[in-house]
Structure 1
Amino acid sequence: MKAPNVILASRSAARSVVLRGAGVPFEPADSGLDEDILKTRMLAEGAGPAAIAAALAREKALAVSHLRPGLVIGADQTLDFEGRLHDKPPTLEAAANRLWAMRGRRHALHAAVAVASSGEIVWETLSTAELVMRDFSQAFLDAYIAAEGEALLGSVGAYRLEGPGVQLFSEITGDYFGILGLPLTGLLEFLRGEGVLLP
């Protein structure tokens, strides 16, 4: 029996790199979901960052699953600092301000992934990592912002753990792939069970 098609309902280059690196055959697709509307509504209802990540992953997967056959992967990540949801910084100045505010303190990254088929969620998981930023200097921050530039604006935390951003931290606990935005090990196990990957 032919394995089902796998579709990644995400515009994230980082998630595509993670899936490709793991040897998962997939096609990318834009979910078309207006994330801001869902976030605003859920925040008004008192939802926390973890619940919002899970809901966004589900809605992205479902949006594409209603249009395309196969297994549709939706994913999202939220940053939880002092109990509040933080979005991707809009400017390098905002990124620098956020990093300085988190300096010497702990924050959490919630990464959710959901798989939909025929308009229904068939598998999902949520991974939470805790990260502590070291007490870095202003000189380090200035050099870091200059070196990374616009790449920082694609991450909710304004860092890439797979790059120089790892130097920001004194302590990291949690799933590495979850920090990259796509909890991978459970997803791979699910895809093996569906015949997409060899057992």
Structure 2
Amino acid sequence: MTHLTLASASASRAALLTGAGLVFDKIPADLDEDALKDDALARALSPKAVALELARAKAIHVSLRHPGLVLGGDQVLQLEQDLISKSPDRAAARRLLQRMSGKTHYLHAAQALAENGAIVWSNVETADMTVRTLSDVAIDAYLDAAGDKILSSVGAYQLEGLGVNLFDSIRGDYFTVLGLPLLPLLAQLRHMKVIQ
């Protein structure tokens, strides 16, 4: 059986794989993601392409050092023409939520499989996320209740928790929102006979 490694420090990606019954090692890719993102943007790549570039870079980086199949994943949040990063503090999260209020943003979740330093498969999925109109009082109440863990998520929310209260509508796959489009990945792993 082909050995699978997750090239990510993401707890949610690991939980999704574990929940689907996959056995894998977890070896985060030690890359300067900000530099990679800046380079991709300097080359005028689309937000989807930026996510894919980051996922591929992580998979390749770890697969050059570890045998077997390596899964890299990344997710970018596009709000209007901007790519949004994680908020460094509560004040930045508050400003972001004010900006997202009443608008639709897009989560582009990419994944790539690499073996021996070469990409063997990749894909990217998008979820359209429409935030309800939020008052400053509602934003502050949300931030108080959610706590600092929102700083670990781009967009300052976790859909599987209190963050679901921020939305009017979501178009797209739940797994894409969580950062790992699981259905196409499982289909590919079955195709490659990694799983039954």
TM-score for the superposition, normalised by structure 2: 0.97
Contact 2:130 2:167 (C-alpha < 8 Å) held by counterparts: yes
Please report how far the alpha carbon of residue 59 of structure 1 lies from its aligned counterpart in structure 2 after TM superposition: 0.3
Contact 2:8 2:27 (C-alpha < 8 Å) held by counterparts: yes
Contact 2:40 2:53 (C-alpha < 8 Å) held by counterparts: no
Q: Distance in 1 between matches of 2:165 and 2:127?
A: 17
Map of 1:184 onto structure 2: 182
Q: Distance in 2 between matches of 1:41 and 1:72?
A: 23
Q: What residue identity is the alignment partner of 2:40?
A: M
Match of 1:135, SS state, is coil
Match of 1:69, SS state, is coil
Q: Distance in 2 between matches of 1:174 and 1:116?
A: 26
Instruction: Map 1:39-188 onto structure 2 (within 5 A).
Output: 39-188=37-186
Query: What is the aligned length?
Result: 196
Q: Distance in 2 between matches of 1:166 and 1:60?
A: 29
Instruction: Show structure 1 runs of 5+ residues with no match.
Output: none
Match of 2:45, SS state, is coil
Q: What residue identity is the alignment partner of 1:174?
A: G
- Deviation string for 1:58-89 (max 9, x for gaps)? 00000000000111000000010011111111
- Deviation string for 1:86-130 (max 9, x for gaps)? 111111111111011100011100000000011111111100111
Q: Distance in 1 between matches of 2:66 and 2:162?
A: 38
- Deviation string for 1:27-81 (max 9, x for gaps)? 1002111111111112122222211100000000000000001110000000100
Instruction: Show structure 2 runs of 5+ residues with no match.
Output: none
Map of 2:27 onto structure 1: 29
Please report how far the alpha carbon of residue 136 of structure 1 lies from its aligned counterpart in structure 2 after TM superposition: 2.2
Map of 1:12 onto structure 2: 10
TM-score for the superposition, normalised by structure 1: 0.95
Match of 1:124, SS state, is strand
Segments ≥4 residues shifted beyond 6 Å: none
Contact 1:48 1:83 (C-alpha < 8 Å) held by counterparts: no
Contact 1:9 1:31 (C-alpha < 8 Å) held by counterparts: yes
Match of 2:113, SS state, is strand
Q: Distance in 1 between matches of 2:190 and 2:45?
A: 33
